[in-house]
Structure 1
């Protein structure tokens, strides 16, 4: 059984990912390894993932033998297993950042797939899926990254595995303006949290002010209003018996940082159901920006009109409003932030908390149950992480770690601490902690209960409070969080 208090940190010496030419195979033959191909190039990533599973105390009695089955306690033969990586975008908007710090790398995923194959033993189904940003070229991402090569490797071995884009809406740029295309809404299921949503009880005015960047603002209030608190979740997610949550921890403009909890934003088919910020300044009940600004108010109105025009396929008007938005952005003070991209955003944290309730307690038909409906293991790719303007314009941060835990709150707490941030200043962590005694509790929330296990002596068998300043990775936050969340020396 998994000890839910353990957070494992597996550290590699050589901070690099193997490329797809190796098919992400291990560079040594382990007793339990289910295939025959071995890479001639070193693959420390595979070794780190394997070591992480061992340190989680999974099937320890069989470790070192051909019968070692570390995922056997959570994956049973015949299960539908979903791997949920972070595949946010195909290109880094930071022109010098590259993609190694942007999305979960397939070499990390491949090692987990091997152990899923051991547990399924020729049965069941594996899906790797995510809902990236609407403008992401999913085909390009899968080809360039090596995900396609990885999938073909397993399919040639008659393993039932597929790569799925959860999005029901995508957009493309044409003559400088975004054009939307609806794909297939039948791939999703509406899940209504009702009175158990973090948004239940907000007044009508606040409901009308909920926003998600780049989407028609008229849609969101229809799904978060009074007793109706709806999310549009992928049926693939709901059909899963087990989810291996594989985030790419990095800084995040709206949430401060992203790791296991935030990664479940990518289970949605239609993101118009996802409140990301509340229109207006903090003094008037909003969290879009800090101080009232007439220019920023006008910018918000024009942005809404632009998004409504795009939704109606009226691209001539959308281009007109886009010019107005650009003028406002030139005139306003950048220090006032925008689109909820600052430490005062208390909207996205509630959305994240709601989604984590759904992923644990919604059954295959999307109905909330009192008992957990699926098992979840979190394995984070922090070999090369991202700092500064994440999530879509991060700068590379060489960390060299694979971090894992059954408890997403504990994993996020440890990642937050290692980044050098104060957990008490992260709204998402505070929101899930407040939710602990809720009907849909996400997990234990006392950081003093966390047991660190690592091949790095600085962390092994220590509590989080034992980590000294010199062990912090000192991530640089995004501009909207800088000077607020960093831990004092």
Structure 2
């Protein structure tokens, strides 16, 4: 049986030459850049820009990794462009703040804002048969996903597969959260999207990762790796294993393993370069797995479902002393569950937990780490 390769390559800093060497080595270990010529000449690089943030915060793909990918493909004769659509902030503003726009300009490539869209049929999707996607992503000959190694409050982990969610323009992401509020259904939707977009290569920035309350409110943590694979699910299996998760507890991994479009399990994956055991970070701070997660899919009366959700599922709490009143969480909330309230001293965010779907978009977008995800229970 031919196995899919996932390359683990050490990279101890974001110094440009070191990153370029690590990215090029990682691609060489899985077959080299020339293998992608069979898909065409036009490649779209898809970095991760959750929101505009300084690269030191470990929220976005680092500019050095983005630049290395550009260089490798341009040197091989490809026509390179990039694109992204953050969930809240405008693409160009966010790309500038994160240092990626300057890199694109330096190399003379387009950084598409994904505002031009098109409807695309998804005949092999399990739960989503049509997507509205960025035209640039659909029309590229192939996509290279360049995610950041981070925890994720909803999916537990975000990587090569989840990064493709950025090909849905802007606020459309919130609509998918509202349509698929349960974690397992949301995972199925992500796999459907990955099947449709079919990235031919994924290069993960795991030099400085985010642990704790990711994908935006956690803490930077040095891991010192570049990870690459031609199969996004294989890469993400290695990613969750590096974090210390049991892959069987990660919904989108198990959903993808059950499809014919990707590797079907660990036996079909070969790790090349460094050995996983030697580079695995110790005591990486993860999002806690909810062991009774599937209970939300049960058929209960509405009053009982609300009770079960309030007891078993963590919910967002808004810290008055940290909230700046920017209102970004209110604007992005797909369930319209948030609003301003006020006391004698200041405005603050108030949540209607009967409407809240526990998508944690408010936590993702908060620039001041004012949202705390925790259970409100007496168990």
Judge same fold: TM > 0.5, yes or no.
yes
Structure 2 counterpart of 1:217:
none
1:349 paired with 2:297, answer no
Q: For the residues of structure 1 that align with 2:48 and 2:281, how far apart are their CA atoms?
A: 24
Q: CA deviation at 1:125?
A: 2.9
Structure 2 counterpart of 1:251:
151
Structure 2 counterpart of 1:433:
257
Q: CA deviation at 1:428?
A: 0.4
* Inter-CA distance 198–276: structure 2 relative to 1 (3 Å threshold): farther
Alignment of 1:324-473 (within 5 A): 345-360=183-198, 376-436=200-260, 441=261, 443-454=262-273, 456=274, 458-459=275-276, 467=277, 471-473=280-282
Runs (5+) with no aligned partner, structure 2: 294-379
Structure 2 counterpart of 1:199:
127
Structure 2 counterpart of 1:49:
23
Structure 2 counterpart of 1:73:
35
Q: CA deviation at 1:106?
A: 1.4
Q: CA deviation at 1:105?
A: 0.9
Q: Matched residue of 1:445: which SS?
A: coil
Structure 2 counterpart of 1:477:
286
Q: Matched residue of 2:200: which SS?
A: strand
Q: Matched residue of 1:435: which SS?
A: coil
Q: Matched residue of 2:176: which SS?
A: coil
Q: For the residues of structure 2 that align with 1:270 and 1:109, how far apart are their CA atoms?
A: 21
Q: CA deviation at 1:348?
A: 1.5
Q: CA deviation at 1:347?
A: 2.2
Q: For the residues of structure 2 that align with 1:471 and 1:484, how far apart are their CA atoms?
A: 28
Alignment of 1:257-276 (within 5 A): 257-269=157-169, 271-272=171-172, 275-276=176-177
RMSD (Å), alpha carbons: 2.7
1:114 paired with 2:62, answer no
Structure 1 counterpart of 2:110:
162
Q: CA deviation at 1:235?
A: 0.8
Structure 2 counterpart of 1:149:
102
* 8 Å CA contact retained: 1:251, 1:388: yes
* 8 Å CA contact retained: 2:43, 2:140: yes
Q: CA deviation at 1:45?
A: 1.5
* Inter-CA distance 162–435: structure 2 relative to 1 (3 Å threshold): same
Q: CA deviation at 1:4?
A: 6.0
CA deviations over 1:304-331 (Å, ceiling 9, x no partner): xxxxxxxxxxxxxxxxxxxxxxxxxxxx
Q: Matched residue of 2:218: which SS?
A: strand
Q: For the residues of structure 2 that align with 1:189 and 1:154, how far apart are their CA atoms?
A: 28
Q: Matched residue of 2:75: which SS?
A: helix
Q: For the residues of structure 2 that align with 1:137 and 1:408, how far apart are their CA atoms?
A: 27
Please give the TM-score of this superposition, normalised by the length of structure 2. 0.70
* 8 Å CA contact retained: 2:149, 2:158: yes
CA deviations over 1:50-73 (Å, ceiling 9, x no partner): 221222242xxxxxxxxxxxx122
CA deviations over 1:93-151 (Å, ceiling 9, x no partner): xxxxx74411111101111111211222xxx63211111112x2533433333323322
Q: For the residues of structure 2 that align with 1:270 and 1:146, how far apart are their CA atoms?
A: 20
Structure 1 counterpart of 2:14:
17
* 8 Å CA contact retained: 2:223, 2:281: no
Q: Matched residue of 1:191: which SS?
A: strand
The structure number with the bigger radius of gyration is: 1
Q: Matched residue of 1:448: which SS?
A: helix
CA deviations over 1:321-345 (Å, ceiling 9, x no partner): xxxxxxxxxxxxxxxxxxxxxxxx2
Structure 2 counterpart of 1:7:
6
Q: For the residues of structure 2 that align with 1:476 and 1:277, how far apart are their CA atoms?
A: 28
* 8 Å CA contact retained: 1:75, 1:119: no
* 8 Å CA contact retained: 2:60, 2:98: no
Q: Matched residue of 1:396: which SS?
A: strand
* Inter-CA distance 191–451: structure 2 relative to 1 (3 Å threshold): same
Q: CA deviation at 1:248?
A: 0.7
Q: For the residues of structure 2 that align with 1:270 and 1:191, how far apart are their CA atoms?
A: 17
Q: For the residues of structure 2 that align with 1:241 and 1:81, how far apart are their CA atoms?
A: 6
Q: For the residues of structure 1 that align with 2:210 and 2:148, how far apart are their CA atoms?
A: 8
* 8 Å CA contact retained: 2:86, 2:170: no
CA deviations over 1:63-91 (Å, ceiling 9, x no partner): xxxxxxxx122036972110011111113
Structure 2 counterpart of 1:126:
80
* 8 Å CA contact retained: 1:249, 1:259: yes
1:102 paired with 2:70, answer no
* Inter-CA distance 165–394: structure 2 relative to 1 (3 Å threshold): farther
Runs (5+) with no aligned partner, structure 1: 19-23, 27-43, 59-70, 93-97, 156-160, 169-186, 201-228, 280-285, 288-344, 361-374, 460-466
